[in-house]
Amino acid sequence: MIELKNVTRRFGNTVAVDNLNLTIETGEVCVLVGSSGCGKSTTLRMINRLLPHSAGEILVDGEDVNAMNAEQLRLNMGYVIQGTGLFPHWTVARNIAMVPHLLKWPKERIDARVEELMTLLDLDPATHASKYPQQLSGGQAQRVGVARALAADPNILLMDEPFGALDAITRDNLQMEMLRIQRQVRKTTVFVTHDIDEALKLATRIAVMDQGRIIQHDTPENILRHP
């Protein structure tokens, strides 16, 4: 469970996130939706402490994120962003293996995990494992980004507009993939998008943000009924 209690983040005089309260239950896919600049990314990045919060409290399974060490945070939370952040001079396999490698898993275990994840993400290991990111399509690269985030089996998946740069068809495919993967691995997920249709498709709960606050927090069904 992720709990944000009276969380505020300021950048100089800008209040990016304003006294926000949000509870995300274990196994839930919470989609933060709202127009550009409303504070979605800032909220997401405070959860894994990529950005420190200015005030309030963020708890993961009851533990204050400020009390966790950096490694614990990175291992516990997979992070996927638009543009993937893949290392261009590393192969697909090495990119996916990044965290298991840092954890010093034995080579056989890493190889098996990479193959398993590529298969899960519908990437043929024989064809793609030895490729470099620039040899992939946008959709394939984004799949590798998701595989990398899942590699060490984190409890939480944080996704920041991961499909924002993809064409409509690829985007639709990746959304369907996410639904299928969620049924298989069931991660507590916080997903940021400005696209309400994407939110309605993927969410178990939607938090609608406006000017650093949550103005609605409900199931997709209820949001559709009372927009």
Residue closer to ligand ADP (CB basis): 35 or 219: 35
Residue closer to ligand ADP (CB basis): 34 or 145: 34
Beta strands 188-193 and 156-160 are parallel
Give the full edge-to-edge strand order of the sheet including 55-60. Answer: 14-24, 2-11, 55-60, 63-64
Shortest approach of ligand ADP to residue 43 CB, angstroms? 7
Residue closer to ligand ADP (CB basis): 36 or 184: 36
Task: Find out whether 31 and 206 touch, Cβ atoms under 8 Å.
Answer: yes
Shortest approach of ligand ADP to residue 13 CB, angstroms? 10
Residue closer to ligand ADP (CB basis): 111 or 195: 195
Residue closer to ligand ADP (CB basis): 94 or 217: 217
Shortest approach of ligand ADP to residue 56 CB, angstroms? 15
Shortest approach of ligand ADP to residue 74 CB, angstroms? 19
Shortest approach of ligand ADP to residue 81 CB, angstroms? 8
Read out DSSP for 117-155?
HHHHTT--HHHHTT--GGGS-HHHHHHHHHHHHHTT--S
- The whole-angstrom separation of Cα 227 and Cα 211 is 18
Shortest approach of ligand ADP to residue 85 CB, angstroms? 12
Task: Find out whether 104 and 75 touch, Cβ atoms under 8 Å.
Answer: no
- The SS3 assignment for 160 reads strand
- The SS3 assignment for 105 reads coil
Residue closer to ligand ADP (CB basis): 160 or 177: 160
Residues at the interface with ligand ADP (CB under 6 A): 11, 14, 16, 34, 36-42
CA-to-CA separations, 48 to 51, 56, 59, 96, 151, in angstroms, rounded: 8, 15, 11, 20, 17
